[in-house]
Structure 1
Amino acid sequence: MKKWKLLLLAALSLLLLPTHLFAYSNPLGPSNPWRWSNNDFYGEGDPYILKFNGTYYLYVSTVDDQVGIKVWSSTNLVDWTYRGLCSTEALTKAAYAPEVVYWNGLFYMYTSPGGNGHYVLTSSSPTGPFVPATGNLGMGIDGSVFIDDDGKWYFYSTGANTINVRPMNSPTAFGAPISTGLSMAGWTEGSTTFKRNGIYYMTYTGNHVWSTAYRVDYATSSSPTLAFSPAASQNPVLIDTEGANVGLGHNSIVKGPDLDSDYIVYHSHAHGGNLTYPGRRMNLDRVVWNGDKLVVLGPTTSSQQNPELPDFEDRFNRAAIGTGWNNVGGGTWGIYNQQLMWQDTIGNTSTYRQVTSASSASDYTAEFHLKQMKQGNSANPVYGVVFSYTNESNYGTAVLNRSLNRLETNFVVGGVSQGWQYASLPAGYDYTKWHQLRVEKSGSAFTIFVDGMKKQTRTVSGLGGGKIGYTTTDAHADFGYTAFSNKVGGSSAWNAYKPLPGKIEAVHYMNGGEGAAYHDLSAGNTGGAYRGGNVDIRHSAAEGKHVTGWNQTGEWLKYRVNVAESGFYDLDVRYATTFASASFRLWDGTTDLTGIVAAPNTGGWESWSTVSKKGLYLTAGYHELRFEFSQGEFDFSGMTFSRGDAVVALSDDFNDGNDNGWTRFEGSWSVASGELSSAGGGSFAKTTIGSDLWADYTVESDIKLIGTTGDAGILVRVNNPSNGTVLANNPDYVQGYYAFIKPNGVYLGKMNYGYQALASSTVTLAPSVWHRMKVVASGTTIRVYVGDMATPKITYPDNSANPFTHGKVGLRTMNNQTSFDHFLVTS
């Protein structure tokens, strides 16, 4: 066979492959990473991604003993091309956390070299050269800019263990600091602020960068400066303290190439040659939304589906416009330098349009880039975009008016104009520079953004999807990257393959309609929330998100998942019901994974609980799972898949003189006379053993409090433990439950890089006397026994939205010298 035929067959085979087979895995490894002068690896710390005119640009921190700032570019967020140094200024030595903002023709870079105060640098290109625009401005480290819908700027950076914000009068002028009040009980840095549906979101990082407990939280507010409230039931949203990819933090958020999905980019530790400063690697994970709730589908290290591309895009990287576009009304159109389209006829009031041959679905997102070169002398010279275009009697348009400094929109339906509406743009707007227009259509609502600023939402009936394009009236304009995606408002989450282990929101069932993505016995969405179609969805106040409701016997929902590795998984289902007999089961194709699982009465439709099914065998790769409502009726919030493993019974009486197999964290642990002891006085300590794949078990230990202050006890369901004294001084660096004793009673708390008291029982427990404690973890219920092994002192069902259902076991002391003996774990 001739070589060209082989190449053709290879190309055709690639085209026939499902798109999810093109995958990436964390950590990513862009070429030309930073290295110390001795060639030790430094990598891509504090990654920040700017999207400009359809291309992504990556900037990272500079290694401490080098000068310059590196930049990479990509069109898909995965394949990165090194573009060299975008600045070689002397002040860029150890340039920490460079972030770049485009505004009015200039790119503004904010960085704090060596953490010794911020500088602003500017360039006319995202690849530089960036040159200083200010001197040293101070203001901590990790500066980040947010531009609100009204065009006001805000600068966020570190304060005294918190994030400060400064209103800005210009890209280089900063006001007085205002504390946002956000703190992670110590070192707090690396914030990113953005706005979605009128709510301000801030992600921020806690703990020292070289700690395994480096992690990301998020908070929300109705203001860009004040009253940020942490998402307590979800935080931390990124953490991993054990394994090969730890120390996750300093993130930014970027819109995916499909124009709708969101991604969180962050770094992890990379163990290069320098063990003191091990280096950092860039990671990328999907962010999905359920109402106002932000959900990170990660952290992941297994193969993940590549970010999806838009349904249509054009970079004009050719010599002629071609057949993909249609001229409407005339004008002189062409391609310049294989990088943009132009129209240069001016001097009359004719309106010219160039529209795509491709048409969008009814709901979509479209993105456009444009700049004006010249304008004529008519009363209303404008240039802009068209969308939902089917013909000259049915379309929407959004244009920029340089003379009046505003956005103007109109819709024509059935040949009837719906009327022009206007939105002012910031003073000093330069229309001869590149600007972005974005259109989001959902149902009859059209929302228009200019350079990321939400400027209008109009409700227009009678227009569906259609072609997109550009338009001019008495203006010579250039037009850049153009795209549309048949997704809007986060709907890209529905068909995305969710990584397992992980969580799946109930409302994120597949696209496809009745019989393909779901089976629903009632017509229409009874709750009227979130999605169209026949699945009934309501907003749950208790869950703080949308849930599927009115789920009847025989109905089902399908979900796409990406299983990291073959093996046994445990399933936790979050639900609420008043039915005495309700049940579900889960299918993978024709394979019944669970059998029928009972969902007991929770006592109310806003009384949520979790029911578990252990030992589901899943094979690695991409699957479509079908969740079936087998009997009765219950509202469905979501499900969590965890890797599960059988509990291995273990015991340790410490008579061998050591604590081999245990992992000590803080404190001063020792083994003597057949006892494990922690000095403990005035400090805290923990030690763990077992597997984080364990679910249900019983843990017992003899405990002897030496002092009368402080406490000591047993840890169960332990996840992400870290040493709270490494570059910090925090006793709460663990996730799990802590059952403990004090001289005045028995207590149970929940630890999630913070402490929450759950329950207590008053009982006198003398110090310097052995007390037997037993903790039984079964499902989401924790039972604590002390002395009497038949009757629990505490029975606590954790009906919260984030119960811990798997994890190791351990021992802990807090400000008490304590001895432990006869430790036992049974299934």
Structure 2
Amino acid sequence: MKKLLFIILTAIASTSFAQTWTNPMSISGELVPGGIGDPYMMKYKGVYYLYASNDDAAILRCWTSKDLINWSDAIICSTDPTIKGAYAPEVVYWNGMFYMYTSPHGNGHYVLSSNSPTGPFTVVTSNLGKVIDGSVFIDDDGQLYFYHADGAGIFGCPMPTPTSIGTSVNLNAQMNGQWTEGPCVFKRNDIYYLLYTGNHVLSQGYRIDYATNIINPISRYTPQVAQNPILVKSEGDFSGVGHGTAFIGPDLDTYYFTYHNLVKTVGGQPLRKYNFDRIAWNGDKLSILGPTNWAQQAPQLAVTDYFDRTVVGEDWLFPTGGNWGINNSELLFQDEQDAVSETGHKAIFTSASATDYTAEFTIREVSRKNDTATLGAIFSYSDEENYGVALFNSSANQLEINFLINNVWKVPQSVSLPAGFNYAVWHGIRIEKSGTSYRFFVDGMQKAALTSNLGGGKVGYITRNSKGDFSYVALSKQVKGSGILDTYKPVPGTIAAVHYNTGGEGVGYHDLTPGNADKQYIRNDSVDINTNPEGGFHISSNQSGEWYNYNVNVEATGVYNVGIRYAASAPAQIKIQQGTSEVTSVVELPATGSLSAWRTFTLKGLHLTAGYQTLKVETITGDFNFYEMQFKPADNEAVTVTDDFTTAFSSDWNFADGNWNIESGQANIDGYGKKVMGSAGWTDYTIEADIRYISGMNAGVIFRVNNPAAGGENNNPVLGTDFLQGYFVGLGATNVSLGKHNYGWASLTSAPGTYSTNTTYHIKIVVSGANIKVYVTDMTTPKIDYTDTNPFISGKVGFRSHGTHAHFDNFSVTTAGTETGIEEVSVDEIDLFLTKVHDILTINTNLKLRAKIYNTAGQLVIEQNIDSHHNQINVAKLAKGIYIVKLLKTGIFKQSDKKMIFCSAFAKIIKN
């Protein structure tokens, strides 16, 4: 007797990593009970140093790490009495000395100094003022700048020396006209970035904004309103996030941002924890991939040598001699001073080579034989006839760069270094190579951008008529932000379309037309990429059959919605897979009007599995431009929630600020406040409520609400009146208005109407995708019919009042409960037969299904719709063997994988 077998496939492939980090973190020796607040990160000779705010003890701590995962025990770096209550200490290395800037209790700044990053730091100035949260930036010309918080926002000042501060200049960076602090400035691709925090450390709405300028470090900055806030989390145990540092990670390429979260308040003081998350660059557009509080893929590491041993070892080659050795298990030295001028004494690091790369070197001069003596870095070394050099010439006070190609030196390039540059102390050289482009940095200052046909290769050190010491060296294959591409990016979160995986055609992507038609070669492959008006780049001209793979790190197994940001002149179709399993059906993206009219369309109900996964986005039909994906946890169950406020608020309300109460069987507010209920995963719904204005008319309904918070240190509803992300509908004397809160306010549209106080109005709001319809009194014809081109895609519902006395009543919300995703079919919903005589596979079900049959090579061999009346599939053409039957629900899609062996005349197996 032959048998028919079905085997349930439940395992989904997932990558795991030996090391991860999970926010928030505890570090040995942190303050008890204060934790780590205002974390500041500095890198020196390949080691990261973490500093944090102090309590009232004269003991300041720091910690060290090489990988950002494993941290040292606390190191006491200062016992100077000045550092009692030291707020936000930051440390800068400049020309052999470490300078610490801090404002004890926020009462002006002191500068401390040390010859070591771990101290001891001792005070070297009087109180220099400038209030609180001092931070220092060094520009490419060696000019230092000081930044600080003040009542009018963030200010910047030139610094004549590392221990003196000039006149403050307002930088146009202030949140909501309220207290703003925690400045952090850095420069990338000739753009100055200013990150800052507000409004109060004890507020759950503590958050990060950023601004940019391209003129100079203390010119007026432009807040990036379309993106801000770039880091916010106001609800739950993990909230109140802000105040940190942007820095480059141990892969030499990926930026990160440190910050703290507020755990609780103890005796009026904050208990905070340390966190950090990745920054993803789409061109010059900055996005923080966070805040996260689940395990994240550990930072990638460059290939490094710290010389922490007694012998040089086999990883170094010395092709031109010299006396090389290890000293004190911390540095490589070369102390033979005579050498042929151009050949020099070389040390080549043989452990790694790369075509495109970032490399870092650490160098100091011990002595020089004459005024032509140099020492420095070797890069792109393939042999003795092909390499480049970046050399310090202490006599000329300059960096000298040259390329040797086919044993012919090119024209040397020389760049002056700051006056007083001390070559006898440690300095860093950084080189970024991408294609034929080379960029050279000294101590973080960009000194040259050159073009050369010299290819990739190894790195190393060289002396010419000089003696030198050399320390930490590193080589990474990541450059110009490429480190983010294969990183498992957090979901929930936003992923840029251009951040598809590496590996090329058939691995990271599939493209039907060779070459990049739009000539924006940020990926050096055949995907068509163009600039985007919203910042960075998008994938253009997607065609049927093209696809892109994205590595994601899913927080929890469950249901997610995803907002697809795209532009299309005609309808297009896509689908999304997780591994080999479809998580959406074929979904139509409506036309947006043109290939430059950007819209967001929400795909609902993607069932994703927790952990490290790969998502494939495939174009089925059409031609569209693809910008980004925003993943949000979903709650798509169809529910109706009501509250008539008879005697109390129902238990469904889960956030409130302001003085809410029940008055005459109605919700009452007199002044400022918000009250919110429901699930942040709700997407489409209908809200109805009665509203009656008693005095004032600035109150109404809020919906798709995320991150509601009060303001200030005492949960002040006035300061926090705009502290939410979501929509608002309200009535005025002459109109009904629709607006948008994003920790600020923007009016979207309005419609004329006459409304007055002491009159009850019934409001209905219907939210579907990006469309919002608002009805007032007349429940058949909307007063407002508005489509938001860049919508919030999900959130809670509730009320908001701004200086108004208002009553609300007869509240209800009904969610739509629709999905476009796929999930498993219930084990009780189907029977499967195979009749050998007629070669018929029968699927008994009351569901509407799409059946797909695959062979063991993964090829689709049969596809057919199934329902209760059309439930048979002819499999006569299939050879005997093992096949996979995939059943997909239509409507609310579900998925079940079965494996079957055809080898019986007749058999019936019921799914169990």
Identity %: 45
CA distance in 2, matches of 1:814, 1:459: 58
CA distance in 1, matches of 2:516, 2:508: 15
Given that residues 68 and 95 in structure 1 are in contact (C-alpha distance below 8 angstroms), is that contact kept between their aligned partners in structure 2? no
CA distance in 2, matches of 1:407, 1:387: 14
What do the CA deviations read for 1:648-670 (whole angstroms, capped 9, x no partner)?
31111111344543245333222
Given that residues 322 and 335 in structure 2 are in contact (C-alpha distance below 8 angstroms), is that contact kept between their aligned partners in structure 1? yes
1:610 is displaced (CA, Å) by 1.2
> 2:82 aligns to what SS in structure 1?
helix
Q: How does 1:572-651 map to 2 (within 5 A)?
A: 572-579=563-570, 581-645=571-635, 646-651=637-642
- Decide which of 17, 22, 31 is 1:20's aligned counterpart: 17
1:472 equivalent in structure 2: 463
Residue type at the aligned position of 1:805 = I
Given that residues 666 and 724 in structure 1 are in contact (C-alpha distance below 8 angstroms), is that contact kept between their aligned partners in structure 2? no
- Decide which of 357, 360, 373 is 1:381's aligned counterpart: 373
Question: Larger deviation: 194-203 or 604-613?
Answer: 604-613
CA distance in 2, matches of 1:21, 1:792: 56
CA distance in 1, matches of 2:655, 2:560: 28
Given that residues 200 and 711 in structure 2 are in contact (C-alpha distance below 8 angstroms), is that contact kept between their aligned partners in structure 1? no
> 2:574 aligns to what SS in structure 1?
strand
Is 2:314 the partner of 1:323? yes
Q: How does 1:689-768 map to 2 (within 5 A)?
A: 689-707=677-695, 709-724=696-711, 726-727=713-714, 729-730=718-719, 731-768=721-758
Given that residues 214 and 248 in structure 1 are in contact (C-alpha distance below 8 angstroms), is that contact kept between their aligned partners in structure 2? yes
1:13 equivalent in structure 2: none
CA spacing shift, 1:810–1:658, aligned 2, 3 Å:
closer
CA distance in 1, matches of 2:555, 2:789: 28
2:394 equivalent in structure 1: 402
> 1:34 aligns to what SS in structure 2?
coil
Residue type at the aligned position of 1:464 = G
2:39 equivalent in structure 1: 47
CA distance in 2, matches of 1:640, 1:527: 25
What do the CA deviations read for 1:374-408 (whole angstroms, capped 9, x no partner)?
1112x410000111001121111100000000000
1:419 is displaced (CA, Å) by 1.1
CA distance in 2, matches of 1:487, 1:348: 34
1:362 is displaced (CA, Å) by 1.1
> 1:307 aligns to what SS in structure 2?
coil
Question: Larger deviation: 658-667 or 257-266?
Answer: 658-667
Question: Larger deviation: 358-367 or 178-187?
Answer: 358-367
Q: How does 1:58-73 map to 2 (within 5 A)?
A: 58-63=50-55, 65-73=56-64
Given that residues 143 and 155 in structure 1 are in contact (C-alpha distance below 8 angstroms), is that contact kept between their aligned partners in structure 2? yes
Asked which structure has the greater RCO (Cα within 8 Å, sep 6+), the reply is 2
CA distance in 1, matches of 2:20, 2:651: 41
Is 2:804 the partner of 1:804? no
CA distance in 2, matches of 1:409, 1:203: 34
Given that residues 29 and 74 in structure 2 are in contact (C-alpha distance below 8 angstroms), is that contact kept between their aligned partners in structure 1? no
Residue type at the aligned position of 2:247 = V
Residue type at the aligned position of 1:446 = Y
TM-score (norm 1): 0.94
1:232 is displaced (CA, Å) by 0.7
1:785 equivalent in structure 2: 775
- Decide which of 103, 115, 123 is 1:112's aligned counterpart: 103
1:485 equivalent in structure 2: 476
Residue type at the aligned position of 2:463 = T
1:10 equivalent in structure 2: none
> 1:91 aligns to what SS in structure 2?
helix
Question: Larger deviation: 85-94 or 652-661?
Answer: 652-661
- Decide which of 217, 222, 225 is 1:224's aligned counterpart: 217
Given that residues 659 and 671 in structure 1 are in contact (C-alpha distance below 8 angstroms), is that contact kept between their aligned partners in structure 2? no
1:69 is displaced (CA, Å) by 1.0
CA distance in 1, matches of 2:626, 2:752: 38
- Decide which of 546, 549, 559 is 1:568's aligned counterpart: 559
Given that residues 657 and 672 in structure 1 are in contact (C-alpha distance below 8 angstroms), is that contact kept between their aligned partners in structure 2? no
Is 2:93 the partner of 1:102? yes
> 2:424 aligns to what SS in structure 1?
coil
Is 2:550 the partner of 1:559? yes
2:48 equivalent in structure 1: 56
Question: Larger deviation: 394-403 or 656-665?
Answer: 656-665
CA distance in 1, matches of 2:577, 2:374: 56
CA distance in 1, matches of 2:466, 2:158: 36
> 2:64 aligns to what SS in structure 1?
strand
Given that residues 174 and 180 in structure 2 are in contact (C-alpha distance below 8 angstroms), is that contact kept between their aligned partners in structure 1? yes
CA distance in 2, matches of 1:763, 1:705: 15
CA distance in 1, matches of 2:565, 2:27: 40
1:4 equivalent in structure 2: none
1:734 is displaced (CA, Å) by 1.0
What do the CA deviations read for 1:95-126 (whole angstroms, capped 9, x no partner)?
11000000111000000011111000000000
> 1:143 aligns to what SS in structure 2?
strand
Given that residues 159 and 179 in structure 1 are in contact (C-alpha distance below 8 angstroms), is that contact kept between their aligned partners in structure 2? no
What do the CA deviations read for 1:508-561 (whole angstroms, capped 9, x no partner)?
0000011111100111111121211111100022x2220001111100000000
- Decide which of 310, 322, 325 is 1:334's aligned counterpart: 325
- Decide which of 134, 143, 146 is 2:137's aligned counterpart: 146
1:290 equivalent in structure 2: 282
What do the CA deviations read for 1:26-46 (whole angstroms, capped 9, x no partner)?
0011111112xxxxx101000
Given that residues 666 and 725 in structure 1 are in contact (C-alpha distance below 8 angstroms), is that contact kept between their aligned partners in structure 2? no
CA distance in 1, matches of 2:621, 2:263: 50
CA distance in 2, matches of 1:745, 1:733: 24
Given that residues 387 and 467 in structure 1 are in contact (C-alpha distance below 8 angstroms), is that contact kept between their aligned partners in structure 2? yes
CA spacing shift, 1:657–1:561, aligned 2, 3 Å:
closer
Given that residues 199 and 711 in structure 2 are in contact (C-alpha distance below 8 angstroms), is that contact kept between their aligned partners in structure 1? no
The higher radius of gyration belongs to 2
CA distance in 1, matches of 2:246, 2:638: 39
Is 2:676 the partner of 1:666? no
Aligned CA RMSD, in angstroms, stands at 1.4
Given that residues 705 and 769 in structure 1 are in contact (C-alpha distance below 8 angstroms), is that contact kept between their aligned partners in structure 2? yes
Given that residues 348 and 376 in structure 1 are in contact (C-alpha distance below 8 angstroms), is that contact kept between their aligned partners in structure 2? no
1:475 is displaced (CA, Å) by 0.8
Residue type at the aligned position of 2:682 = W
1:696 is displaced (CA, Å) by 0.7
- Decide which of 148, 155, 169 is 1:164's aligned counterpart: 155
CA distance in 1, matches of 2:490, 2:356: 26
1:38 equivalent in structure 2: none
2:232 equivalent in structure 1: 239
> 1:43 aligns to what SS in structure 2?
coil
1:821 equivalent in structure 2: 809
> 2:483 aligns to what SS in structure 1?
helix
Residue type at the aligned position of 2:596 = E
2:353 equivalent in structure 1: 360
CA distance in 1, matches of 2:97, 2:73: 22
2:29 equivalent in structure 1: 32
Residue type at the aligned position of 1:155 = F
CA spacing shift, 1:152–1:390, aligned 2, 3 Å:
same
CA distance in 1, matches of 2:723, 2:580: 43
Given that residues 92 and 113 in structure 1 are in contact (C-alpha distance below 8 angstroms), is that contact kept between their aligned partners in structure 2? yes
What do the CA deviations read for 1:429-478 (whole angstroms, capped 9, x no partner)?
000000000000011011000000000011001x2210100000011100
Residue type at the aligned position of 2:28 = S
- Decide which of 540, 554, 557 is 1:549's aligned counterpart: 540
- Decide which of 504, 529, 534 is 2:526's aligned counterpart: 534
1:795 is displaced (CA, Å) by 1.5
CA distance in 2, matches of 1:275, 1:561: 41
1:797 is displaced (CA, Å) by 1.1
Is 2:133 the partner of 1:136? no
